A and B are shown apart, each in its own frame.
Chain A
Amino acid sequence: GENVEQHPSTLSVQEGDSAVIKCTYSDSASNYFPWYKQELGKGPQLIIDIRSNVGEKKDQRIAVTLNKTAKHFSLHITETQPEDSAVYFCAAPRGDNFNKFYFGSGTKLNVKP
């Protein structure tokens, strides 16, 4: 079945530095790859997503890259700020059932002021 692996589990950066989180997936039929940010005590919230027909998507300081051949996708945050501190999750749907999303185990990002 689908398996999504996410690394690293924790990441600490200095304010202003960049942060990169990577995910790999196993189902070659997956074609939609969202990233969620979860703040303490709240539900995950979508921050960016990418579909399999493009290799990169940017939204201000956040970007996602996708390598379908290697089956991995990455979240890039530039010029990090303390408010970026949160837990980030990647996800991918099963190719045979797009209702079934598999989530990575999460990355706790700490941005030090």
Chain B
Amino acid sequence: NAGVTQTPKFQVLKTGQSMTLQCAQDMNHNSMYWYRQDPGMGLRLIYYSASEGTTDKGEVPNGYNVSRLNKREFSLRLESAAPSQTSVYFCASNGQLGNSPLHFGNGTRLTVT
């Protein structure tokens, strides 16, 4: 089992460019999440998908869109990148509606210049 796999590991964008961060899990989990991690601020939830076919906003959704492509895959899209979106992005999944451990990928480090 690979667990949660994120691609790419690193990315540099210019302001206004777009990109999609990919995430896949092989644990048959129902719920998937996107977090961003900034120094001194812990992890903040961007969007989540409680089950295939549903998505909901987290704490900081502005500037992002998501797609739950199937049970395994959950992508995060930046339509017009801004320097404030420079961060490390983590995808996670868990098997129940909350109340169970999150399994994280190893992150995508994004720099927007």
Contact = CB atoms under 8 A, between A and B. Distances in A.
B1 interface: no
Contact of B106 (A32, A43, A99, A106): A43
Interface stretch (B67-75, B77-85, B97-105): B97-105
Q: How large, as a class, is the contact surface on chain A?
A: 20 to 34
Contacts of A6: 42
B90 interface: yes
A43 B44 CA distance: 14
Contacts of A32: 98-100
Q: Chain B interface residue count: which class?
A: 20 to 34
A103 B42 contact: yes
B8 interface: no
Contacts of B102: 34, 36, 44, 46, 91, 101
A100 B45 contact: yes
A43 B58 contact: no
Contacts of A9: 40
A89 interface: yes
Contacts of A98: 97-99
B4 A43 contact: yes
A43 B107 contact: yes
A76 B56 CA distance: 35
Interface of B: 4, 31, 33, 40-45, 48, 50, 56, 58-59, 90, 92, 97-107
Given A41-B106, A43-B106, 7 more contacts: A36-B102, A36-B104, A44-B102, A46-B101, A46-B102, A98-B99, A100-B48
